Structure formats: C-alpha cells, structure tokens
Structure 1
Amino acid sequence: MKIQFYKALTLAAIAVSLSFIQAPKKTTLYIIGDSTAANKDPKTYPETGWGMALQDFFKTDVTVDNRALNGRSTKSFRAEKRWDPILAQLNPGDYVFIEFGHNDEKIDKPTVGVSLADFKLNLVNYVKETRSKKAFPVLLTPISRRSFKNGVLIDSHGDYPRITRQVADSLNVPLIDMLVKTESLLTRLGEEPSIKLFNHVDSGNVNYPTGKKDNTHLSPEGAKQIAGLVVKGIKELKLDLAKKLK
C-alpha cells in the first residue's frame, strides 16, 4: 500500500515538474527591405532574394519571416502599410533586419525616393518602433551592385549607406555593413567571375526568352552567399541569434 502511495506521489511530482518545463521559445526574424532581399515569384526565377536563403542557416527555433518587397523604400514600405502588421505582431525578443537604400536613392520617383534627411528619419522611426515592442532592430547597409568600370568596382549608393551607419552609431543599433561585405566579395571574385552571383540568364530561358543581364538582383548562388555574409555579421556582432545558428 505504501509502495503504491509513494509511486503515485512520485508520478504526481514528475507531472508537476513537467508542467513547468516550457518548449523552447521561438524567435521570429523579420526582414524589411527591397528586392535584393525579397521573396520572388516563380515567374522571375532564377532571380532570388538573399532573404529566401537565410532560413537554411538557422535551427528550428528561429523563423525567418521575409517581408522585403521589390521596389520598396523606407518611405513606400510604410506608406503602403507594409510595416503596420509587422509592428502589431512583434514579440519581445524578435528581430527586425532593416535593409533599405536601393530605392530610397531614386529621388526622381517621389512616391519612393527620399532625401538623405528623410531617409535618416525613416530609419530612426523603424528602430524606435521596433524597440517599443522590446524587439531588436538590426540595420544593414544595401548590398553592392555589380558595377565595374575598367575592372574596378564602383559604389552606386551615394551617401545612403553613410546615413545607415550614422543612425546605427547614434542609436547604438547593431549594424551589418552589407555594402562593405559585398564590395569585398565582388572585388575578390573579379568582374567576370562575379557574374555567377547575379541574375544573368542566357536567351531561351522560360522566364527570360531573350535573356537577362541584371547586375542588381541575385542568382540562387548569389542569394546563398549574401545570406552567408549576413550570418557572418550576426556572428561578428555576437547577437543572441548566433546561438540559434546551425
């Protein structure tokens, strides 16, 4: 009788203990930005955003929610109400990776392009609003275009990356300088070998019958390598996310 009582007591204690053991907390990593990171439709393949390749680097307790979209800037992403649902569902401990610049610099397009002053203000607002939800913002400078002149890589982003760095410094935001990282990669590869990272397609492709030579958007290989540079940045910054990498 006593044995049965103690067995029952032990099982009850185990049950109580198990009730306090919670499943590992899932972390969501949101990406907001432009076409260089965005998910792509099958009709544009092999064009691939680096955000599409990022999930493969993480364990199952991180979910990459890629909200980057073609053609968007810090201005249009908010104006189109793309930011509102992300902010509404942000949980403490989530991350928001913020990479803009490619389209902000198109000041000839008033619905998209913004001045440097407005670009700065927009980045500051994304950072502060993310922090208001006890989530973690991470700023990324835009990736380099494959813009070679006489064998030398040319920066095409003007002062927009400088503003991103400035905001990161002034607000103490982790920064992954993707422009520096991608410029280094492209320079190391060289003008011709770096073609493999971009959406260069021969004629006869089902999606590009006449071919395509795109030096802004990435190939599947390029997306994988650029996502790898993002991961390198995560490790260098020693973010908690680094513990969740495979």
Structure 2
Amino acid sequence: MKQAWPGLLALAAVGAALSACSSSPGKETPHKPIITLVGDSTQTDNQGYGLGFCANLTREVECVNRAKGGASTKTYLRDGYWSKALSPKPDWMLIQFGHNDLQSAAHADRETDIKTEYPANLRNYIARAREQGIHPILVTPISRRYFGPDGKIHSDLTEHSEIVRRIAKEQNVPLIDLQQLSIDKLEQIGEEQGNTLGLTKIVDGKTVPDKTHFNTAGSYVFGRIAAEAMGRAVPELARYVRPEPAVR
C-alpha cells in the first residue's frame, strides 16, 4: 500500500485544525450592535441628518437608516415600513415623527390628531419595539428653520415635541431632545448661515431656501448633534460615537 506524501498529511492536519476552530463555541464572531433610524424625511440620507448621524458612529456598530420621506406615525406602520425596519433586527431604534403628523389639508391621509392619535401611535411603536427585544429611543422632531424678525426660531413643532418628552418620561424611554438642540444650534449660527445647511426649492420660478430639509453639510452638522446626544442619553452607546466630528 502506498503511503501519503508528508505534505498532504500536513495540509490535512491544518484543515482539521481550522475546522475545529470554526465549530468551537468560543470562537464565534462577536455581535455588532445595530442602531436603526425610524422616522420621516428629516432623518433620511438624502434630505435629513441620517447620513451625518451614521458617519459619526464608529465601525464597531452598524447604522441602518429606515426613515421614509413623507411618513407620519400613522403611515409608517400602515404602509409597511415598520416591518422593513425590523430587518436586520436592531438592538436600538431611534424613533422620530412629527413633521408629517401636522394637520394639513393637502395631506389629510397622513395627519394625526395631536391630542389622541399622535401620542397613542408613539406608545404603540415603543410597545412593538420592546416586544421584539429592541430598545427604543424617542427623538423630538428636529426644528424647521423658521426664523422670526427677532432672530429666534418660531417652531411649529413645539407641542409635538412636548408630547414626545412626556411619553419618554412616562414610558421610561431614553430621549434625544433634537427639537431643542437644533433650535439652540440655529439660533447660535443665525438665519443666513442656517440656510447654507439646507436644501433649496423652486417657488414661482424663484429659488428659495427649503426650511425643513438638509444638504450634505447640514446632515453632518445635525447628524453629529444627534449622535452626541444619543451617547449622553444612553451611556452604553457613547463608545460608538466618534471622538471627533466626521468629515465629509
């Protein structure tokens, strides 16, 4: 009977060792936490702060953006976006709604009653997340750039933001008060510089500032603010926030 070549025996031994290592319970790849954004266009990558938020997190965490333009607390669930947000299953979920929950004759299909439906929907998202073993984080809606003659922001989402704060306290959910943080930032830099962080739109043939959405520069500014606020609201996530602001 012919004997096997020494080289082949060595390769077989290496293969067996690698196989044993891959099947060893103690050698499994560590779980990388997943943080998912759930909200409207002000959270998206192309119109909101989502791009900048994810850029300001380290590679030790996976950032998934499931925000949807035009979504409200009513339509996000109704139109199936909530189901999509569950894959891949997040460990943490930043939930921000309000801009499209405002009552509007042009978009009556997505508006919600601020006294009843809006808070009930927020509680429903919290309950659904917890049922899936997901940790919810509530985010007050980021402010529009509505500057008054006094140089101050006159937000149309003050009442919605207060409801989010109240529910976060009631449900013992971490809170990112992005409404107040964005107002503070905008009032610090002023209207002219604030407009450089936003998109523009055409109205009656003229180019005017879009006072709701962000360009890439704005996404990085407010994404950094949101990421830092997350680290403060949930200390165990602070290590996933880059120590220095991300650069485009």
Give the alignment's TM-score, normalised by structure 1.
Answer: 0.82
Q: CA deviation at 1:225?
A: 0.8
Equivalent residues in 2 for 1:1-246, closer than 5 Å: 19=24, 20-40=26-46, 48-87=47-86, 89-90=88-89, 94-108=91-105, 109-116=107-114, 117-150=116-149, 151-200=151-200, 211-246=207-242
Distance 1:55 1:241 in 2: 13
Distance 1:187 1:194 in 2: 9
Q: Classify the secondary structure of the residue corresponding to 1:123.
A: helix
Give the alignment's TM-score, normalised by structure 2.
Answer: 0.81
Distance 1:70 1:212 in 2: 20
Change (3 A) 1:147 1:63: same
Distance 2:153 2:48 in 1: 21
Q: Which runs of 5+ in 1 are unaligned?
A: 1-7, 41-47, 203-208
Q: Classify the secondary structure of the residue corresponding to 1:74.
A: coil
Segment of structure 1 superposing worse, 149-158 or 74-83? 149-158
Output the aligned Cα RMSD.
2.6
Which residue type is aligned with residue 162 of structure 1? E
Q: CA deviation at 1:193?
A: 1.8
Q: Classify the secondary structure of the residue corresponding to 1:36.
A: helix
Report the identity percentage: 30
Change (3 A) 1:35 1:28: same
Distance 2:222 2:163 in 1: 22
Query: Is the contact made by 1:198 and 1:214 (CA closer than 8 Å) also made in structure 2?
Result: yes
Query: Is the contact made by 1:107 and 1:115 (CA closer than 8 Å) also made in structure 2?
Result: no
Q: Figure out how many residues of one structure are paired with residues of the other and give that number.
A: 223
Moved over 3 A (4+): 15-18, 209-212
Q: CA deviation at 1:160?
A: 0.8
Which residue type is aligned with residue 103 of structure 2? K
Q: CA deviation at 1:200?
A: 3.6
Change (3 A) 1:221 1:107: same
Q: CA deviation at 1:153?
A: 1.5
